[in-house]
């Protein structure tokens, strides 16, 4: 069975994109997703070494899959940091724009500072 499974997997790899039914022959659908495309992953039945494949043609060993998740997590964290910085930048730009627009209408206008009552 091992030789047949490997030959079938090689044919799947040669064609790139595969129908899920073809992957069901050589693997078992897993709860994991492909770090490259986000699609479902199949764990290959012949698990020496432990391997995964998605229907788009991406293939991973257990170690390369872990590395893919690590890279994807790092990219997501940097994207979140960039998004926060961009929100701060746009807030400052909008504030400066509002001040310029206000000054063009009423040059003597200044924001009122409310004093907190002292207790």
For residue range 92-118, what is the model confidence (pLDDT) as tens digits? 999 999 888 887 766 666 666 666 666
Tell me if 82 is assigned to some domain: no
5-50 pLDDT, tens per residue?
Answer: 666 666 666 666 677 888 888 889 999 999 999 999 999 987 788 9
What's the number of domains the chain is made of?
Answer: 1
pTM (predicted TM-score): 0.64
Tell me if 75 is assigned to some domain: no
Structural domain containing residue 51? 2-69
- What pLDDT is recorded for position 99? 87
Tell me if 48 is assigned to some domain: yes
Tell me if 112 is assigned to some domain: no
H helical segments located in 2-61: 2-15, 20-26
CA-to-CA distance for 58 and 105, rounded, in angstroms?
Answer: 59
Tell me if 74 is assigned to some domain: no
Spatial CB neighbours of 71, under 8 Å, sequence gap ≥ 6: 35
- What pLDDT is recorded for position 42? 93
């Amino acid at each position: 069975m091992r030789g047949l499974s490997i030959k079938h997997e090689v044919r799947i790899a040669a064609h790139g994109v595969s129908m899920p039914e073809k992957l069901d022959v050589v693997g078992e659908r897993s709860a994991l997703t492909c770090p490259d495309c986000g699609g479902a992953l199949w764990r290959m039945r012949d698990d020496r070494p432990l391997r995964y494949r998605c229907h788009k043609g991406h293939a991973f060993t257990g170690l390369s899959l872990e590395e893919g998740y690590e890279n994807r997590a790092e990219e997501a964290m940097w994207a979140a940091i960039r998004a926060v910085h961009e929100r701060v930048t746009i807030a400052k730009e909008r504030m400066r724009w509002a001040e310029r627009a206000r000054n063009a209408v009423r040059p003597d206008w200044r924001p009122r500072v409310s004093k907190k009552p002292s207790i």
